[in-house]
A and B are shown apart, each in its own frame.
Chain A
Amino acid sequence: MGKPWRKVIISRREFLGGALAGIGALAASCAPTQPAGPQAPAVQGRPTELHVLRWSSFVAEMDKLIDTQMQEWGKKNNVNVKVEHINANDIPARLAAAVQAKAGPDIVQFWDGWPWIYEDSLVDVSKEVEELIKKLNGVYQDFEAYCKVNGVWRAFPYSYTSNTFIYRTDYFKEAGVAVPKTWDEFIEAGKKLKAYGKPIGQALGHSFGDPPTFWYPWLWAWGGKEVLEDGKTVAIESDATLLAVEKAVELFDTGLIEGVLSWDDSSNNRAYLAEQISCTLNGASIYFVAKRDYPKLAEVSDHFVHPRGPAGTFSYQLDWSVGIMAYSKNIQAAKDLIVHILQPEQYSAWLQSGRGYETGPYRYYDNDPVWRTDPKILPFRDVVTNGTARWPGWPGPPTAKATQVRNNYIIVDLFAKACSREFKPREAVKWAAGQLQQIYGRS
């Protein structure tokens, strides 16, 4: 029996005709069903679309609640709210692609000085933010520095993932160490704890959270700074910076656990929960996991805020803000949604779902009921309310250049290069100065 398909002979002309028809049909099916252009405001039966891009929080309950709050608001206001959560380290790439293509999420959550990088791509939200500040008793200075770009609010201050030092009370006691009040005491504590077999753990690799939030305040506390108040003049090459680097090497050699040069943001969580270290700077996630999975560990854990250095007490908190992309076709709906979730009725419930993992940027939330749930989490509020939080680029503004310095890990690597013995401290400072000159010197 012959094979039937061999009998089907298609002429070249028939083939081309069919192919063209197919392409035509495909093109027709891909064509927009309605004309492009600004979307009409929400009307009955034709909801507005809002796409929100957020990070995946380490506390899943917080993501769940904010999603519910947004969806409920959407239902009431005839808006389809699509909330997407992605890894924080992946937000920059998504944001960059969206800005370049002028298409993508309407609302984006980002951290630190991103409003300065994307100043031209973000909507002016000054009116709404000023009203919120008035209603919610003011906002902390680091948020103002980050979100108010050249006098215009380009993003809504949203939350802190504040960081403090979690420590083992039992190890400290057994090693004869008190909670350090100064960085010198911190170094001495490290020596005793390492000798005791439970050193301090602090990331010194390339990761977005822990390495910068520890090493920037370290630099400031010893008197070092990357630029002067003008935000342009590089000032890293100083005796104070050299002292900071030398002290870092001392801490690295005598107090830190081996391997921190390779640590990312999750390494200290694992090491602490595995009882390998006695102290580390982190958000409240370690404590929460301990409370949930290792209650005995939580019982012997507590927190303290940043010690003081010769130049003062400084911290660097992870400040989250939310911005509305200028390409959005639903700017008003986006503003309304963000203002809604920042109202006490929603925001307080959200804070409580995090049990203290996140802190409010507006002073109204300083006495939120969440801070009465567990005295051990109070330092996460105090490290914000004590006004020690600064930003990359301080004492200048957190400009796009300062964010470039941060995202290229120049300050972290200043210490890493000295600690790894790639450079001597003085050479490391010189290297950092060269890098900063290049970045700040570019137009």
Chain B
Amino acid sequence: MAKKGVLAETSAVAVPKRLPRTFSPGIILEREQVLGYLLMLPALALLTVFVLYPFLYGIWLALTDSRIGIPGQFVGLRNFLDLTQDSIFQQTFRNTFLYTGVTTVFKLIFGLAIAALLNNKFPLKRFVRAAVLLPWIVPTVLSALAWLWMFDSTFSVVNWVLARFGIKGPVWLGNNPWPMISLMVVNIWRGTPFYAISFLAGMQTINQELYEAAAIDGASRWQMFRHITLPLLKPVITIVLLLSVILTFSDFQLIYVLTRGGPANSTHLFATLAYQVGLPSGEIGRGAAISLFIFPALCITVFLTLWYMRRQELD
């Protein structure tokens, strides 16, 4: 009986009733493919207006000798070639890579250390975790102004403290190499919480049984960190590094508030030099070319990171 019933149902499905074809918009919208693309349209429009158009316009500007208010002529790659001969740009190029490289390494080390500490049980754990985020939450301009005061050549609180111990502090934002070191310190101070909290989130997803098993086998805490935490945290580390490198490469606010690229251009990064050349000096084509110099470097970084992640997934 049951078999017969099933067969009857199957035959009913196998021979569908032919419906008349209609072109109602409502029916078209019921199709997944059409509706999917339609729902993507608002996001696509936003991306086009706020990301794609400015980006393409930036490329166009970089290929012209435009000045503000004066549409320029197409000059091909002349702006880029000129920049490679410009000693200020060469210095900026070195500054940007040094700044990004050094700060990223320190943020990674400090971020891992803080995350490992915060992953333990201790009193006021939640409060401390929230407090660690503060440097990252405070608007950059505000915290940079506070640092500006701390680095002030006449009233530096840091130097005042050092003087109590009989040490003469340097002119933080004045005499090389201190201006760049000072900027790196502030960047590391500001960026480390992002690393720490991201790593902490990653650590909390690691199965505790792995640590218990390792403890039974007599592994030390360092061995656990080295052979369990670090390998399992790799995807998070990769993503955090990717985001951090992009943000540090294009850093503007810290430098603008603390030194404006001075003294003698020793702290210019791509973004601050692009601003100085493109806006106050009016050479917007050249300014766009400077900012576009970041692009290939970032593309390579993103490509390598994504390639590495993909390889890890396949492994």
Contact = CB atoms under 8 A, between A and B. Distances in A.
Nearest to B178: A262
Q: Nearest 5 CB-CB pairs, A to B?
A: A259-B153, A206-B262, A262-B173, A262-B174, A261-B263
Chain B, interface SS category? loop
A136 interface: no
Nearest to A276: B154
B154 A13 contact: no
Interface stretch (A33-41, A91-99, A306-314, A340-348): A91-99
B262 A435 contact: no
A204 B176 CA distance: 14
Contacts of B209: none
Interface stretch (A43-51, A163-171, A179-187, A414-422): A414-422
Contact of A206 (B26, B154, B261): B261
B128 interface: no
A271 B262 contact: no
Contacts of B275: 93
13 contacts: A13-B26, A13-B29, A13-B30, A96-B279, A120-B70, A205-B263, A261-B175, A274-B154, A400-B67, A404-B283, A413-B262, A413-B263, A416-B263
A413 B82 contact: no
A64 interface: no
Interface residues of A, number: 47
Interface string B143-160: 000000001111100000
Interface of A: 12-13, 16, 92-93, 95-96, 99-100, 117-118, 120-121, 204-207, 257-264, 267, 270-271, 274, 276, 400, 403-404, 407-409, 413, 416-417, 420, 422, 431, 434-435, 438, 442-443
Contacts of B282: 96, 117-118, 400, 403-404
Given A120-B69, A262-B153, A407 B82 contact: no
Nearest to B272: A206
B65 interface: yes
B153 A258 contact: yes
Interface in B231-286: 259-266, 275-284
B87 A443 contact: no
B69 A121 contact: yes
B171 interface: yes
Interface residues of B, number: 45
B201 interface: no
A416 B262 contact: yes
A16 B29 contact: yes
Interface string B123-167: 000000000000000000000000000011111000000000000
Contacts of A435: 86-88
Nearest to B148: A264
Contacts of B193: none
Contacts of B277: 408
Contact of B68 (A99, A260, A438): A99
A371 B276 CA distance: 38
Nearest to B79: A442
B83 to A, nearest CB: 10
Nearest to B287: A96
Nearest to B286: A442
A205 B280 contact: no
Contacts of B30: 12-13
B35 interface: yes
Q: Which of B35, B65, B264, B284 has the most CB of A within 10 A?
A: B264
A438 B86 contact: yes
A259 B35 contact: no
A420 B175 contact: yes
Contacts of A121: 68-69
A407 B174 contact: no
B30 to A, nearest CB: 7
Contacts of B87: 431, 434-435
Given A93-B280, A261-B171, A431-B87, 18 more contacts: A13-B30, A16-B29, A117-B67, A205-B259, A205-B262, A205-B263, A206-B259, A258-B174, A263-B153, A274-B155, A407-B281, A408-B276, A408-B281, A417-B264, A420-B176, A420-B263, A422-B176, A422-B264
